[in-house]
Amino acid sequence: MNGEKTKEKELLIEEIKCRVERLLETDAISEEEKIFIVERIFSEIKDSSSKEINNGRD
């Protein structure tokens, strides 16, 4: 079961990397907007990781 979670996380990380790369390559939005979006993505990932860790301790 732990191996399945690890694989899911690896796939999710790969998908995020691809989406961020495409976002950074586009000219449709400003650099400031790109930075904001990427920072928000990482903030949400950090928050969800913290919740997952805390749920594991309960």
pLDDT in the model for residue 35: 92
Give residue 12's domain range: 2-57
Give the per-residue pLDDT at 2: 74
Q: Given this model, what pLDDT does residue 57 score?
A: 57
Q: Which residue has the tokens 């928050």?
A: 47
Mark residue 36 as left, alpha or beta (left: phi above 0; alpha: psi -120 to 50; beta: remaining).
alpha
**Could you give the number of structural domains in the chain?**
1
Query: According to the model, what pLDDT value does residue 8 have?
Result: 86
pLDDT digits (tens, 9 = 90+) for 3-58: 888 888 888 889 889 988 998 899 999 999 999 999 998 888 888 777 766 776 54
